[in-house]
Amino acid sequence: MTDDHYTARWRGCSFLTSVGRIEQLPGTGRELAFAGRSNAGKSSVLNSLCGQKALARTSATPGRTQLINLFTWDEDARLADLPGYGFAKAPQKVRQEWAYLVQSYFEQHQPLIGVVVIMDVRRPLTVLDRQMVAWARAGGLPVLCLLNKADKLSRGAGLSALAGVRREMAEQDAGIEAALYSAKTGANLDWLRGRLGDWLRGS
């Protein structure tokens, strides 16, 4: 990890494109994916990492567009913002499309180097969160479970939630990390920039 946590890289992130099919993604370079239940704070986490208020916009109608939004991190590396999941009203057809898109992306997209699964620390590891982790691990990808909204809990309760997630994930395999985060206060921001920057740089 560098002393500066790749801060200039993160702050220089810019929107690249949106795609609806994995064949439309660039086939070279390195790509880090961000997944999460709708409302867990995926857009807020991306915006805080990049130090920008509206880089990743919140979609007005969750579930309507199943697009992957790409951002440039440096000339070889990109961030991929996956469609949110878990909203109750999504029709069956949309959910099937989402499952197909994400599963084939995790299994087949060569540039993918890791997945950050963003969860609300008060409700971690929902059924679909577990599904995301399982698909990513089936694709051989390292996973970071990011327990966001840590500001909503006391320090003790946050640490206890973190320990629970770590314990359960460790039973599955060693390729899964977990950390607390708050997009609101920026708690753990430098650590997260450094950790993910190392992934993106391949170090």
Ligand X SMILES: Nc1nc2c(ncn2[C@@H]2O[C@H](COP(=O)(O)OP(=O)(O)OP(=O)(O)O)[C@@H](O)[C@H]2O)c(=O)[nH]1
Q: Could you tell me the smallest distance in angstroms from the CB atom of residue 108 to Mg ion?
A: 25
CB under 6 A: which stretch of 6-14, 25-33, 147-155, 161-169 binds ligand X? 147-155
Beta carbons of 139 and 132 less than 8 angstroms apart: no
Beta pairing, strands 176-180 & 143-148: parallel
Q: Tell me: does residue 18 bind Mg ion (CB under 5 A).
A: no
Q: In this complex, which beta carbon is closest to Mg ion, that of residue 29 or of residue 126? A: 126
Spatial neighbors of 35 by CB under 8 A, at least 6 apart, are 42, 82, 85, 102, 115, 116, 117, 118, 132
Q: How far is CA 183 from the centre of its chain?
A: 13
Structure tokens at 124: 């971690």
CB under 5 A: which stretch of 18-26, 36-44, 63-71, 134-142 binds Mg ion? 36-44
Spatial neighbors of 8 by CB under 8 A, at least 6 apart, are none
* Stretch 56-75: interaction string toward Mg ion, x if CB under 5 A: --x-----------------
Selected from 5, 43, 146, 176, the binder of Mg ion by CB under 5 A is: 43
Q: Could you tell me the smallest distance in angstroms from the CB atom of residue 136 to ligand X?
A: 18
Q: Tell me: does residue 185 bind Mg ion (CB under 5 A).
A: no
Q: Three-class SS of residue 196?
A: helix
Binding residues for Mg ion (CB under 5 A): 42-43, 58
Binding residues for ligand X (CB under 6 A): 36, 38-44, 58-59, 62, 84, 148-149, 151-152, 182-184
